[in-house]
Structure 1
Amino acid sequence: MNANLAARFALSLAMVLAAVSMARATADGPDFFMVRGVAADDVLNIRAEPTAKSKKIGEIPPDGDGIRNLGCEGGLSIDAWLEANREEREASDRRRWCRIAYQSVEGWVAGRFLEESAHQVPASASEPLSWSLTALNGEPPAAQAFMRFADDGAVSGSTGCNQFRTLGTFHGGVLWIDGPIATTRMACPDAAVTNQEKTVLAALQGRIDISFDPFSEELILSNPQAGIVMRLVRLRN
Structure 2
Amino acid sequence: MRRLLMLTTGCLIFLCQAGGSIAGLPDEYPALFDITDVASDDELNIRAAPNSRADIIGSLPPDRTDVEVLRLSKDRKWARVGLPEQSGWVAVRYLAPQPVQPDNMIPVRLRCNGTEPFWSLHIPRHDQAEFERMPDPTQGFSIVWQSAPAGRTDREMAAILSTMQVRAKCS
Give the TM-score normalised by structure 2.
0.42
Q: TM-score, normalised by structure 1?
A: 0.31
